[in-house]
Amino acid sequence: MSLFETCIHRPVFAIVMTLLLVLFGLLSFLRLPVREYPDIKPPIVSVRTVYQGASASVVELDVTTPLEDALSGIQGLRTITSASREEVSLITMEFELKRDLDDATNDVRARVSQIRPVLPLGILEPHVEKAAAENTEVLWLTVSSDRHSELEMSDIADRFIKTRLAMIPGVSATYLDGERRYAMRIWLDPDRLAARRLTVEDVEEAIRNQNASIPAGRIEGNQMEFGISLKGTLQSPRQFESLIVAYREGYPVRLEDVASVELGAEDTRKLVRFNGKSSLGISVSRQSKANTLAVARAVKEQLPSISAGLPDGMNLTMAWDSATPIERSLDEVYVALGLSLLLVVMVIFLFLGSTRATLIPAVAIPVSIIGTCTIMAVTGCSLNVLTLLRLVLAVGLVVDDAIIVLENIHRRIVADMPPERAAIEGTNEIAFVVVATTISLVTVFVPIAFLTGIVGQLFAELAIAVASAVLLSGFVALTLTPMMCGRLLRHDIGLTRFRFAARLTDDVGQRYRRGLAWAMNARIVIVIVAVGASLASLSILNLTFPVARYGVGLSFREVFGIEFCDTPQLAAGSFIRLPSELAPLEDAGWFSGFLTAPQGATLRYTDTYARELEALLKTVPEIAHTYTMVALGDRPTRVNRAESWVTLKDWNERTKSQQEIVASLNQELGKLSGVKAYLLNL
């Protein structure tokens, strides 16, 4: 006895299988990671080396060139690029997509270790990092205060806020941008140093030797022993001032004799502002397999309690949230999915004319779609815009099998065959067709999952999702659908209870039969018409249409932006060239502004133009807030670079799109002289 016969004779078995399929699907749906696009891991590894005090030319000669020579022979290396600037060398390596990123990173670390003895002694240890999804930033927070200094805000943010955020499930790392660390700043006086025959190196060596904790052995007794250490660490400016640098003519020269000491910030070569106000930034990055929306919601839930524990006058604000456009995009897809389900059920009900008959494919659709989530979870897929759009696509695919089985069974029931027998014979007759249709559809989408390159990584999950939905629809059509047909359909249920629908289908059927009979008798005419239609579709591109609004005539190709390849070899075929891109631009609700000053520009110079950029952004009513960073990167920073992250108001609160705003602002930024500034839709 076949599977569908078992389901027809034992409906409880079919119901239990369906419930299990739905249950596992719902559990998988709740646990699937949610992101905007599939998780694409580019095989990129970078090596960052800091050589303090070195110029760009010295960094290029002594650091970048030896490293490039050592790294250029790694297996699977596609391209290698380098950038040398003051104090920093950055080498970026892109590997072939088939190369395992972890193995490539290990090979890079091994080569760096081999070349390390050749590099200058004064460099910091080279930092090897892979471009992985673990560093994906979910959101940015800002800390500001009218009562506290940047040092105090940094101390509280580092000890209290970052610790709380790092404990949230799904958070991989937090980074404090614009941080001011406490440091003892010593300002040497060259004249007083020269008068006492001292150099900067003498002062540095004295501080290093006397500002340290040194183990001094132990004291042993008959019953106990104790370790001894000399606590030489200095904690206050007064202790540093009393430090003896050297002896001259029998008298000690203290640090206060040749320098002034104060407690300040270790580094002030970076500025962060939120809406024009001096602030600190805190970025929150998610783990590679974490749910972006879940991490963002968890952080937002913790913000009230974290803010309540801050000192009076200190504020914690959301500056940028990547989950908002993702959540809105997914909501739109859910709405489209709901509408498609509703329209499909309405069309089925319109033509079947029976609530019972409509219920059968209406149940098969959600069962197939929900069950697909189980296969997605097993294969490591995620819920994103592409995989959710496949749900909309799958609605029209998964319903076909159920309707085919339903119609074949109903035809026998109308012919006075018992429903259970009609379900068995009808399914047995159509089962091969259902299996063949399912396999043919699967073979269309499965090869997409084996594509290589970024496109393959982008659409592999979509292919798996659609193929899984089609497979499950065939399974449901051969198990649940015949069981429901045998239990729900009756002799008095007609497929065309609505008269206007019956007249419409009958009229269309008669016309189609007459047209098909004529076409079979005039095959040569049909071929000629098909060829002529193909040629006409090409010639219509050259037709000119009057455009009254502009008083000119535009061709079809100009209206739709279509161009031809003008090579003689392709004149007959006329291959159409259309603009191509990986993904279309969309209104994400935010964009970035970049500013580059000339090499050698100071922080003050860059900040002057960054404030001009902020002033321009304030004039746009559609902008909600801006987050500006002057001097990019970590220590040492690039003081000639600045960046602004601009968040727009909600889509319902503005009439201009993101692209329109960026285009108009770029025209104004082109008028700035002294820097290169532009805005980008990211």
pLDDT digit string, tens, across residues 540-590: 545 444 443 333 444 444 444 444 444 444 333 444 555 566 666 777 888
pLDDT higher than 80, residue 119 = yes
Overall average pLDDT of the 197-204 stretch: 88
Would you state the pLDDT for residue 561?
Answer: 43
Q: What's the CATH class of domain 3-36+326-501?
A: mainly alpha
Cα 133–Cα 137–Cα 139 angle in degrees, nearest 5: 150
Contact 632, 638 (CB under 8 A): yes
Nearest Cα residue to 679 out of 641, 646, 640, 633:
646
Average pLDDT over residues 267-274: 86
pLDDT at 11: 86
Least confident of 69-73, 350-354, 420-424, 527-531: 350-354
Tokens at 116, concatenated: 């390390």
Which position has the token pair 């190369």? 99
CA distance 285 to 165: 10
pLDDT at residue 535 above 90? Answer: no
Query: In the predicted model, is pLDDT for residue 497 greater than 70?
Result: no
d(CA 358, CA 345): 7
Quote the pLDDT of residue 562: 43
pLDDT 10s digits, 276-289: 888 888 988 887 77
Give the DSSP letter of residue 124: P
Predicted pLDDT at 5? 84
Which ranges of 382-452 would DSSP assign to H, the alpha helix? 385-414, 419-445
Cβ proximity of 123 and 48 under 8 Å: no
| Predicted pLDDT of residue 27 | 92
Tell me the per-residue pLDDT of 3-21, one tens digit each, with 9 for 90 and over: 878 888 888 898 999 999 9
* % of residues, the chain, pLDDT over 70: 88
For residue range 290-302, list pLDDT tens digits in order. 778 888 889 999 9
Give the 3-state secondary structure of residue 86. Answer: coil
Residue 97 pLDDT greater than 90, yes or no: no
pLDDT score of 401: 84
* Three-state SS letters, 340-385: HHHHHHHHHHHHHCCHHHHHHHHHHHHHHHHHHHHHHHHCCCCECH
Which pLDDT value is given to residue 381? 84
Write down the pLDDT at residue 501.
64
| Chain centroid to CA 423 | 48
> Residue 350 and residue 629: Cα distance in Å, rounded?
60
Q: Does the domain made of 135-181+268-321 have the CATH classification 3.90.79.10?
A: no
- Position 26 scores a pLDDT of 92
- Of the candidates 460, 473, 484, the one whose C-alpha atom is nearest the C-alpha of residue 395 is 473
Fold of the CATH domain 590-680 = Alpha-Beta Plaits (3.30.70)
pLDDT confidence of residue 20: 92
The total of other beta-carbon atoms located within 10 Å of residue 670's CB is: 11
- Predicted confidence at residue 24, as pLDDT, reads 93
Question: Taking the CB of residue 528, how many other CB atoms lie within 10 A of it?
Answer: 11
Which is more confidently placed, 59 or 398? 59
Mean pLDDT of 104-114: 90
Give the least confident one: 108-112, 167-171, 391-395, 571-575: 571-575
Q: Which of 465, 454, 442, 455 is nearest to 393 (CA)?
A: 465
Residue 375 CA to residue 25 CA, distance in Å, equals 8
* Whether residue 673 has pLDDT greater than 60: yes
Please determine whether the domains at 135-181+268-321 and 590-680 fall in the same fold group of CATH: yes
Residues 457, 459, 461, 462: what is their CA dihedral angle, to the nearest 10 degrees?
180
In the prediction, which pLDDT does 554 show?
Answer: 41
Instruction: With H, G, I as helix, E, B as strand and everything else as coil, classify residue 653.
Output: helix
Which of 566 and 314 is assigned the larger pLDDT? 314
Average of per-residue pLDDT across 589-609: 88
Over residues 165-191, the mean pLDDT reads 87
Give the pLDDT score at 506: 73
Q: What mean pLDDT, rounded, does the chain reach? A: 82
In percent, the amount of the chain with pLDDT more than 90 equals 6
Least confident of 229-233, 425-429, 527-531, 647-651: 229-233
Rounded CA gap, 292 and 36, in Å?
Answer: 9
* Structure confidence at residue 559 (pLDDT): 41
- pLDDT for 557 equals 45
Distance (Å, whole) CA 12 – CA 10: 6
Quickly state the pLDDT bin for 134 (edges 50, 70, 90). very low
Amino acid (one-letter) located at 195: A
For the chain, which residues make up each domain, given as ranges? 3-36+326-501, 44-131, 135-181+268-321, 590-680
CATH 3.20.20.140 fits 44-131, yes or no: no
* Residue 592: count of CB within 10 angstroms of its CB: 15
Select from 649, 619, 461, 634 the least CA-distant residue to 50. 634
439/461 Cα distance (integer angstroms): 19
Identity (one letter) of the amino acid at 76?
G
The predicted pLDDT at position 213 comes to: 67
Residues 630/607, Cβ–Cβ less than 8 Å: yes
Q: What is the pLDDT of residue 227?
A: 72
Distances (CA, A) of 123 to 89, 120, 231, 285, 652: 10, 6, 29, 29, 53
- Say if residues 20 and 13 touch (Cβ distance below 8 Å): no
CB of 396 closer than 8 Å to CB of 390: no
Beta-sheet strands, E only, within 123-213: 127-130, 137-145, 171-177, 182-188
Number of H helices, E strands in the chain: 23, 24
The residues that bridge with 89 in the sheet, in sequence order, are 49, 84
Residues 6+ apart with CB under 8 A from 677: 593, 594, 595, 596, 609, 613, 669
Whether 585 contacts 659, CB under 8 Å: yes
